[in-house]
Amino acid sequence: MKKISRAGIAYELIIGILGIAIPLYLAIKGGIVHPPVLHWIFFGIFALWLAHTYITFGNTIVSFEILIYYFLFYKYGYVNAAITAFAVIFILWGYYSIRALKVSGRESFYYLKRGLFNAGSYGLIFTFTGWWVSLIKTNIDVFIGLTIVSLVLLNELLIFIDTWLYGEDLKHFKTWNYWKSSFIEGVIYSVGVSFGDLYQYKGLLSTFPILMVTLLLSYFGRSANITSQRLLKRLSYLREMNRILRILSSILDLDTLLESIVKQTFRFFGAKFVTLCISDEDVGIYRVYYDGEKVSTEKDGKPCIPHNSTIISKETKEIVFPIPKGGGVLGEMRLLLTEIDDEKIGFIDVLGKNIGISITNALLHRMSIEDSLTGLYTRRFFDKRLREEFNRSERSGEPLSLLMFDLNDFKLLNDTYGHDAGDMALIMFTGYLKKYTRTYDTAARWGGDEFVVLLPRTNRSEAEAFMQRILKETRNTTIEFDGKKIKISASAGIAEYDPKSNPDMTPEKLISIADRNLLNSKKQNL
User: Comparing C-alpha atoms, which of 355, 302, 366 is closest to residue 330?
Assistant: 355
Please provide residue 497's backbone torsions phi and psi, each rounded to the nearest 5 degrees: -115, 115
Which one-letter DSSP state was computed for residue 296?
Answer: E
- SS3 of 137, please? coil
Which one-letter DSSP state was computed for residue 65?
Answer: T
User: Comparing C-alpha atoms, which of 473, 510, 514 is closest to residue 490?
Assistant: 473
407, 425 in Cβ contact below 8 A? Answer: yes
CB atoms within 10 A of CB 335: 24
Q: Nearest-5° angle of CA 100, CA 105, CA 111? A: 50
Half-sphere exposure of 56 (CA within 13 A, CB side): 10
Alpha-carbon gap, residue 404 to 351, rounded angstroms: 44
User: Comparing C-alpha atoms, which of 210, 227, 155 is closest to residue 184?
Assistant: 155
Among 406, 449, 498, 515, the one annotated catalytic:
449
CB atoms within 10 A of CB 504: 5
Catalytic residue flag (residue 449): yes
Alpha-carbon gap, residue 340 to 338, rounded angstroms: 7
Q: Which residues pair with 421 in a beta bridge?
A: none
- Listed in sequence order, the residues at least 6 apart from 40 whose beta carbon sits closer than 8 Å to its beta carbon are 34, 84
Pairing of strands 311-313, 318-325: antiparallel
Alpha helices in 250-347 (DSSP H): 254-269, 342-345
Alpha-carbon gap, residue 452 to 518, rounded angstroms: 11
Alpha-carbon gap, residue 494 to 464, rounded angstroms: 7
Write out the catalytic residue numbers.
449
